[in-house]
Structure 1
Amino acid sequence: MTPALKTWIILLAIVGALLAQSQQLFEGVVERALTGSGGEETDWILARPWVLAAILGGLVVTIGVIVLLNWLVWRVMGYRIDDDAVYLRKGVLSKQLRKARLDRVQSIDISQPLVPRLFGLAALKFDVAGGEGSSVDIEYLKRGRAEALRDEMLARVRSARDATRTEQAPSPDPTGPAGAGESEQPAHTASAADLAPVGPAPTASAGADRAGAEAVRRNVVARRVGSNLGTRLLAAIDSTSEDVVSDIGHTLTDVLAPYRVTARAEHDGRILRVPAHRVLLAALLSTGTLFGVLIGLVVLVGLVVLAAFGIWEAVTGILFGIIPAIAAVATMAKGALDEANFSVRITPDGLSVTHGLFTTTRKIIPLQRIQAVKLSQPLLWRLTGWWRVEYNIAGQKSDQLTSSTVLLPVGDIDQTLMMLGLVLPDPRVPAGVSGRALITSAMLARKSPDPEAPAAEGLFVDQAPASRWLDWMTWNRNAWAVTGTMLVIRSGWTTRAVECVPHARVQSMKLRSGPLQRALGLAEVELHSTEGPAKPVLRHQAAERAEEFFFTHADTTRRARAELDA
């Protein structure tokens, strides 16, 4: 069924064209049977049975060729998995053999488009670090087989990465630390080589030794400054899986203490569910929908006025102009349907996200690969207090920057802070300010109800007064704050936005000042992250402050990255 399911729209179009061409003949046959007269063409065809036999034979041959081609395509398809890679073979005339190394696999997702889902089938997608088209997709497997294979492959991917990490790690110095020089490894860190057993070991205990070494390594990484809080939760799940999953709500609450979130989890580890009706309502309240409704009202009034004056040529032109608007609405509706029934579950490999009303997708978000996070709130969402959370992730391809970067399609402040806290490090703010106060102050500015909001607001640096000539609607809201582990930027007026960039994840920075900015004594600093929705920029700062931040933050990010990678 796989070739047919991948080309079912083409097959449906062929069948529809054949039926359309045969419609007149069928109508003539029915009319002749009922009235005794079916028209000259029908009489001519019925008088020559071989013509009718040729038509029916052509249909049979066409269907047979389609079935044969599908069988040939399926027959050469196959996949193979070993300890190093997964291989996919396909193609009849143009043959392909694709390989994905397990230690290079970024994520393994399960996708169920609508038609395969009706037959209980699913696709397994191996996302590999590389350019566009580098993923390996196994289409299609039975759903149960796909889920079992994904679990098995996630375990193999972990083993392959552990083996690669052990081979690449430096050998431990048997003499121990020699001093406090900058080139020496810090005393509080441990490498995979330090944790691996030395010398021959019994085969029966080798797997247990590696598992124990990996558990220790995860805890070491989770405790490093700059690691996101979710890694601490995953380290706890890895070491005591049954205990943590059964009481994961308390564990989440403890891990997310800086953000003061009281979390709870269901029996299967799900920590978040967003019902379909909330996603659809949020789409209706989005800024795009608002402008769409306004444009629709303007067009409707214009049609009425033109019709009243009898200018029908202009009416026809406007009707054709509505087509792009209808396409935009359809695209927005598709996005809402793709994000419906959104749920998040904790697994030892990361956050397992499931979404989609008709096409269901299940994927794993590796927490250590998240580079930046963006919160956004359209104008009408202020009535409900909803926010949206998206992220930038390392290795993300440009053709996947849609629903695949959504961490929370729509949720209240507590849900937003829970998801935000899992992918960000401990903010390490000054005494008297919590991480929750910092983020809510960034979200709501001076309207935050948090009692620590005034102290948190003191951490933010506003734009220069001269910037009001360039950002006359947003200059009073735009601000930024630097904590011990990340940079927080707030911006926007019609659509509020908050961008959080951990220091250790900054790729590079650029200081720039255009002619108009120089005339006003302004400059801005652009922070480069991986491709994604978050594009952090400190806009229209005083030139001296922007230059000072540029060099100071460059040193901050360098030291944070060195500490995280130690």
Structure 2
Amino acid sequence: MSDPSLPEVPSEAPPKVVERPSPLTGIARGAIALIAVAIAVGRDFVESPGDADSAMLVMAGIALVVIVLIGLGGVITWRTTTFIADDEEFRVERNFIWRSSSRVDYTKVQSIDVSQPFIARLLGLAKVHIDVGGEGGVDLSYLTKRRAEALREHLLEKMAVSRDEARTHATGGADPEALPAVADAEDELIVAVSPTTLLIGSLVTLGTIAAVAGGVLLVGLSILSEATFTFIAGILAIGGWVWGRVGKNWGFRMTRRGGALRIHRGALSKANQGLRPARVQGVVISQDLLQKLTGMYEMRVTVLGYAGGDGDADDGSNAVVLPAGTAADVQRVLSALWPELDLTTVTVHGQPPTAKWLTPLTFRTHTWGIGEHVIVAEHGLLENRRTIVPHRRMQSASVQQGPLQRRLGLASLSVHTTDGPVDLQIYHLAEADARRLLQDQVERARLARRATDSVAEVAADEAAGQALEVEMPEGRTGFEPTEGEPLR
């Protein structure tokens, strides 16, 4: 029986559950190196078939060394990497030659991506990437697929709870319906790209035709010169291009769950990418001449904190939000990203007549417009590109004027966001119009930022250093104002 006169001793906190990656991590990481060694040795074997015995011995020796190193690296990675994922924190520690500890603040988590490179998929493993915006991210590889998916759901739920608490603290009250439980939400399909659409939209393009033509030329030259390995390289180049366009986006689907978008793609290597619309800085919609015949479009975005990809997709595939689709598909994706956007309300403007001297073939394709929420520019000859940037996502703006433009009284305007595929340019405006548009656009961006209702988004912008900047042509402080109009 306890004595009521004695003070209560606080119960000890439960011990942290420390986990490790899969012991097969080293094999998943080193398999590509092993394949590269096999290709290198195989090249020598093909080019020098008379030395087959020595080539086989060399290949066996190198393969043995690589396998030993891979096994040793896997054991070291498994033994020196630990992580903790509970209600209080997510932390990854690595203790080998250097000690490092990465702790993730749940309130700063932007998305959690789960990817399965081909070798890892064969082993039943997956990689988890936690994006924390401008501060970079944390990678954890490799876990079993089931554990990776469970970890993603746990992090998503903790992210939602932490943001709800932060919103309650900032506003002084809570809205029980403001943020639905992530675990209970169902996926809503936004767009799905069928195999037929993907094949037509990805292969019937000028880029694919040029790549295939170059590969065929390389194969033809190799046949004439009897260079066997060059022939194989040409075949692999063609196959690699086609696979990069089709294989990585096979089974592409965009869904919405709990206020966030999810992108599922990949044939051999699977990827499950999270995307918060609030992080999208701009969109570019492209269509070349062949795609115009088939009615296909491609969409890419610039996402804050995702300029470099996740390492498994360093070719920029993370930026693709629609690899191939119709105009209706484009509209569905735009509505998912920015529900308030209505491009039909944007008044279209063209270039002044003097710009024909600089753009004789594309004069009619150079258009731009200003909407309530966005600035839009469109141009192109072989490939038409429509670029859309929300006012509040603009980081800086600048005016450029080359010698020919100066003689014609023209100037170009650039609107900058974070690093990525989106690059908005309005070419060859009248000099006074370019200056006026620059100043007006900076003011629109400032007003749009002030009007935001999301405290979290404002804090994220400040953390990412999204300050507005204005740049004028080198050696000039600005164009002279017209009479009666002050220079703001």
Write the distance in 1 (CA, Å) between the matches of 2:318 and 2:120. Answer: 20
Deviation, 1:122, is 1.2
Q: Tell me, what secondary structure is at the counterpart of 1:117?
A: helix
TM-score normalized by structure 2?
0.74
Q: Which amino acid aligns with 1:157?
A: M
Q: Which structure shows the higher helix fraction?
A: 1
Within a 5 Å distance, the mapping from 1:118-129 to structure 2 comes to: 118-129=122-133
Counterpart check, 1:375 vs 2:288: no
Q: Which amino acid aligns with 1:275?
A: S
5+ long unaligned stretches in structure 1: 29-55, 170-191, 197-210, 219-237, 246-267, 428-434, 439-455
Q: 1:424 aligns with which of 298, 321, 338?
A: 338
- Over 3 Å counting, the alpha-carbon distance change for 1:75 and 1:414 in structure 2 is same
- Over 3 Å counting, the alpha-carbon distance change for 1:340 and 1:60 in structure 2 is closer
Within a 5 Å distance, the mapping from 1:406-425 to structure 2 comes to: 406-425=320-339
Write the distance in 2 (CA, Å) between the matches of 1:530 and 1:495. Answer: 23
Deviation, 1:506, is 1.3
- Over 3 Å counting, the alpha-carbon distance change for 1:110 and 1:12 in structure 2 is same
Deviation, 1:16, is 9.7
Q: Which amino acid aligns with 2:154?
A: E
2:162 aligned residue? 160
Using the aligned pairs only, state the percent identity.
Answer: 27
Within a 5 Å distance, the mapping from 1:112-191 to structure 2 comes to: 112-130=116-134, 134-167=136-169, 169=170
2:105 aligned residue? 101
Write the distance in 2 (CA, Å) between the matches of 1:323 and 1:60. Answer: 26
1:520 aligned residue? 408
Do 2:160 and 2:182's aligned partners in 1 also have CA atoms closer than 8 Å? no
Write the distance in 2 (CA, Å) between the matches of 1:483 and 1:159. Answer: 35
Write the distance in 2 (CA, Å) between the matches of 1:410 and 1:13. Answer: 32
Deviation, 1:396, is 2.1
Q: Which amino acid aligns with 1:466?
A: T
Write the distance in 2 (CA, Å) between the matches of 1:486 and 1:552. Answer: 13
Within a 5 Å distance, the mapping from 1:435-450 to structure 2 comes to: 435=342, 437=344
TM-score normalized by structure 1?
0.65
Write the distance in 2 (CA, Å) between the matches of 1:18 and 1:476. Answer: 55
Q: Which structure shows the higher strand fraction?
A: 2
Deviation digits for residues 408-442 of structure 1 (CA, Å, limit 9, x no counterpart): 11111111100011212524xxxxxxx3646xxxx
Deviation, 1:17, is 10
Do 1:280 and 1:336's aligned partners in 2 also have CA atoms closer than 8 Å? yes
Counterpart check, 1:480 vs 2:390: no
Q: 1:6 aligns with which of 24, 29, 37?
A: 29
Q: Which amino acid aligns with 2:294?
A: T
Bigger radius of gyration:
1
- Over 3 Å counting, the alpha-carbon distance change for 1:553 and 1:117 in structure 2 is same
Count how many residue pairs are aligned between Structure 1 and Structure 2.
417
5+ long unaligned stretches in structure 2: 1-23, 46-50, 455-488
Write the distance in 2 (CA, Å) between the matches of 1:516 and 1:278. Answer: 44
Deviation, 1:276, is 3.5
Write the distance in 2 (CA, Å) between the matches of 1:322 and 1:469. Answer: 47
Q: Tell me, what secondary structure is at the counterpart of 1:292?
A: helix
Deviation digits for residues 363-397 of structure 1 (CA, Å, limit 9, x no counterpart): 11011111111111121111211111111111223
1:388 aligned residue? 298
Do 1:489 and 1:538's aligned partners in 2 also have CA atoms closer than 8 Å? yes
Write the distance in 1 (CA, Å) between the matches of 2:358 and 2:195. Answer: 40
Deviation, 1:530, is 1.4
Counterpart check, 1:337 vs 2:256: no
Deviation digits for residues 111-159 of structure 1 (CA, Å, limit 9, x no counterpart): 011122123221111122346xx42222222212211211111111122
Deviation, 1:542, is 0.8
Within a 5 Å distance, the mapping from 1:140-289 to structure 2 comes to: 140-167=142-169, 169=170, 192-193=171-172, 195-196=173-174, 212=176, 215-216=177-178, 238=180, 269-289=188-208
Deviation, 1:14, is 7.3
1:461 aligned residue? 349
Write the distance in 2 (CA, Å) between the matches of 1:93 and 1:155. Answer: 34
Q: Which amino acid aligns with 2:205?
A: S
Q: 1:88 aligns with which of 74, 85, 92?
A: 92
- Over 3 Å counting, the alpha-carbon distance change for 1:61 and 1:563 in structure 2 is closer
Deviation digits for residues 462-506 of structure 1 (CA, Å, limit 9, x no counterpart): 011111221222111111111211112111121111111111211
Write the distance in 2 (CA, Å) between the matches of 1:374 and 1:66. Answer: 42
Deviation digits for residues 194-225 of structure 1 (CA, Å, limit 9, x no counterpart): x24xxxxxxxxxxxxxx61xx34x6xxxxxxx
1:290 aligned residue? 209
Do 1:5 and 1:116's aligned partners in 2 also have CA atoms closer than 8 Å? yes
Counterpart check, 1:529 vs 2:417: yes
Q: Which amino acid aligns with 1:546?
A: A
Deviation, 1:324, is 8.1
Deviation, 1:341, is 0.9
- Over 3 Å counting, the alpha-carbon distance change for 1:332 and 1:98 in structure 2 is farther
Write the distance in 2 (CA, Å) between the matches of 1:369 and 1:7. Answer: 34
